[in-house]
A and B are shown apart, each in its own frame.
Chain A
Amino acid sequence: MSDTDQTMAVLTTQDGVPLKVSIRRALRAQKIRALLLVAPLFLFILLSFVAPIADMLFRSVENDIVPNTLPQTVVAIELWDENSGELPGEDVYAALAADLQVATKSKTHTRVGSRLNYEKPGTSSLFRKTGRRVNKFEDGNYKEQFLKADKKWGDVEYWQVIKRFSSPLTGGYFLAASDAERTADGVQLKAEDERIYLLLFGRTLMLSITITASCILLGYPIAWLLASLPLRSSNLLMILVLLPFWTSLLVRTSAWKVLLQQQGVINDTLVWLGIVGDESRLALINNQTGTIIAMTHILLPFMILPLFSVMKTISPTYMRAAKSMGATDWYAFWRVYFPQTIPGIGAGSILVFILSIGYYITPELVGGTSGIFISNRIAYHISSSLNWGLAAALGVMLLVLVMTLYWLYDRIVGIDNVKLG
């Protein structure tokens, strides 16, 4: 290394500064300016997007409420063998009493109760009930007093739950999110009829694929028309395509309710035309059909726009050239035009698919129970059940799923093959 340094003459500027150093110095000002220009947006994204999401995702494994609220218990229970089938010793009861006496002052004992309630129903009421009595406990003989306050304290399972969730990090939310639970024989899937999340993930995936496919089928001809019409008419058509963007999402979705319900416009028309009988009106809403129809409509522009911008760059002379060589319209389309639009299909599909896999409002409004997505479940845990840890775990899984699919797409189709214009 040093040999080569000595033998290789270092290029210098006229005043003896090495050329590379000099270039770096000259470029530094430019770099700083570029950084300064980017800085506001970077900070904004960091504070308003990256940080909250990171925090949210962290909640999927976070569990410090138990060790924070019950610090002495967590230490004492460490030595107890949860598989022995026996209740913990007096020292553990004493520690819990001390912890609860502190916790009741700040009312945090109910929070621990609700946290552990996700794992073992009944824990919430147990903690609330005990919290009311614990301050009247006398010194000594805590075990007896606990059992008197609530006989659930004599059930090993509650103690097992406390022990299992005594560490500050937990995989419990992820287990729950993948319909699994930890039993005495290790991790196992829940009983068939209790699995909901895997089903929801599967359904979200299937519906998103269906929606993407119908967007391709409906969007391709429109994009082609847009790209081949003269400018004036294509502008008008483009406005029609963009019109949905100018109306509120809620309004559009509600409009679908009006159209699709059993007494709605579409069913009325079909009945009037005699295509379906009055007693056998089609169920078009509050099920998967409703979700597919409404979401295809809402996401269609995201398919049309990239397709259009790719088609716009394909010169009509290609088709003419193909025809001059004897190809029929269909053959020329299939061999010459279509392959060149694949990057547009790719771009549109990624957009539509990723948007739809995380969609929330529309399935919520028109999906009923069979047409809801995983994100509706996440929203439920965020705002109704307040089980943020589980919501976060579901979110992480959704994120990983999307990234995996993206990676697969890159492997199979190639991400360079995506063109937005």
Chain B
Amino acid sequence: MTTERGASVKFDKVQKSYDGEVLVVKDLNLDIEKGEFLTMLGPSGSGKTTCLMMLAGFEPASHGEIYLNEKPINNVPPHKRGVGMVFQNYALFPHMTVAENLAFPLQVRNMGKAEQEAKVKRALEMVELPQFGSRRPAQLSGGQQQRVAVARALVFDPDLILMDEPLGALDKQLREQMQYEIKHIHENLGVTVVYVTHDQTEALTMSDRVAVFNDGVIQQLSPPDELYETPQNSFVAQFIGENNKLNGTVTAINGNICDVKLADGTMMKADKVNVAAVGDATTLSLRPERVEIIVADGMENSITGHIEELIYLGDHIRVRMSVAGNPEFVVKVRNRAGEQKLAEGQDIKIGWFASDCKALDPVG
């Protein structure tokens, strides 16, 4: 846990357009601390790779300034930035062996032969591929290539490493193993990592902080737990984890709590997160595991739902029901002995706490 090594990054009012017509990145402000593991998460086309490319120096920012260790780098060419990068398709040089690939950044720096060999050996050991130095990349499995790519980005001791969906091509098991290994390397070396993915589980398990991108804008920048527990807007609530939506109108605001009238007339109390005034349309967001089928004491909200479908999943039962006109309302019911029997077509009463129900900006 040596935090001396990492680099700090700052995006200051950065905008980017490729064609002069559409802004792909709109007003990006982002501070990344030394040694931090920051993940950019977002749907396809939201501008994540573009941000990475601007940071690595392959795309110029159309407006604004990027700082590396407090120094502006807009006019620094890529090869002078000292940023390690792992590309989505690994970009291992096919005409070189694994060892030659790893030695490449060292040769660029005119390092002595003996030192090169020592470093290459150490890097291969770090990713647990010591005997693969003489192979060609094409002779390695996807996971092995990926590890070589990580090793190559690390071998010249950069302070900042960018990874663009490095695990996109791997199967689930290998992916989880690699997530662990990357995290492990990050913790051991203390480098700053900027990681791009559109897999939310990956983002939540690996990162210190997650920046959720949509449409060229950071929707929320928070540690993983906050992202899940307290989404700042409907996009984040829907993008991260499972989420029930109920549309309504704000009728009253009391400090942090607001009253919301649903489409069918039911009144609800909700945590006021992203509504401004009485009369605003809003979408209530509610996690399936926070809904109870036994209404507990002190629960501010309760409503009757109609069970449409039961899906038995062993440890829990997914109950899909119609609630206040929403036929996709999902409740997760723990599978406990003596729990009341549920049947399709049945009407039951459900309830939740106001604090678990977030009043956010309205969506369709």
Contact = CB atoms under 8 A, between A and B. Distances in A.
B94 A340 contact: yes
Contacts of B58: 320, 323
A148 interface: no
Interface string A305-349: 000000000010110111111111001100110011000000000
Given A321-B85, A324-B85, A325-B152, A331 B91 contact: no
Interface in B79-98: 79-85, 87, 89, 91, 93-95
A324 B78 CA distance: 6
Contacts of B152: 325
B85 A327 contact: no
Nearest to B80: A326
Interface string B256-296: 00000000000000000000000000000000000000000
Contacts of B57: 323
A318 B82 contact: no
Contacts, number: 60
A320 B87 contact: yes
Nearest to A322: B104
Nearest to B155: A325
A323 B78 contact: yes
Contacts of A332: 79
Contacts of A326: 79-80, 82, 105, 108-109, 156
A331 B85 contact: no
Nearest to A343: B95
A328 B79 contact: yes
Given A326-B108, A326-B156, A331-B108, A321 B91 contact: yes
B20 to A, nearest CB: 15
Contacts of B354: none
A336 B82 CA distance: 19
A324 to B, nearest CB: 4
Contacts of B105: 325-327
Contacts of B87: 317, 320-321
A230 to B, nearest CB: 11
B108 A340 contact: no
Contacts of B93: 318, 321-322, 336, 340
Contacts of B250: none
Contact of B156 (A325, A331, A340): A325
Contacts of A317: 87, 89, 91
B240 interface: no
Nearest to B56: A324
Contacts of B56: 320, 324
Contacts of A325: 79, 84, 104-105, 108, 152-153, 156
Given A324-B56, A325-B152, A335 B79 contact: no
Nearest to A328: B79
Given A323-B78, A324-B84, A328-B79, A318 B104 contact: no
Interface string B95-132: 10000000011001100000000000000000000000
B96 to A, nearest CB: 8
A317 B165 CA distance: 14
B141 to A, nearest CB: 20
A234 B79 CA distance: 28
A327 to B, nearest CB: 5
Interface in B210-248: none
Nearest to B82: A326
A105 to B, nearest CB: 73
Given A320-B56, A321-B85, A327 B95 contact: no
A320 B104 contact: no
B265 to A, nearest CB: 57
Contacts of A324: 56, 78-79, 81, 83-85, 153
Contacts of B84: 324-325
A332 to B, nearest CB: 8
Interface in A239-281: none
Given A320-B58, A322-B104, A335-B104, A327 B79 contact: yes
A315 B104 CA distance: 18
Nearest to B104: A325
Contacts of B108: 325-327, 331
16 contacts: A315-B91, A317-B89, A320-B78, A320-B85, A320-B91, A321-B87, A322-B93, A324-B56, A324-B81, A325-B104, A325-B153, A326-B79, A326-B108, A327-B79, A339-B95, A340-B93
5 interchain residue pairs of minimum CB distance: A325-B105, A321-B91, A324-B85, A317-B91, A326-B108
Interface of B: 56-58, 77-85, 87, 89, 91, 93-95, 104-105, 108-109, 152-153, 156
Given A321-B93, A325-B152, A326-B82, 18 more contacts: A315-B89, A315-B91, A317-B87, A318-B91, A320-B78, A320-B85, A321-B87, A321-B91, A323-B57, A323-B58, A324-B84, A324-B85, A325-B84, A326-B156, A327-B79, A327-B105, A328-B79, A331-B108
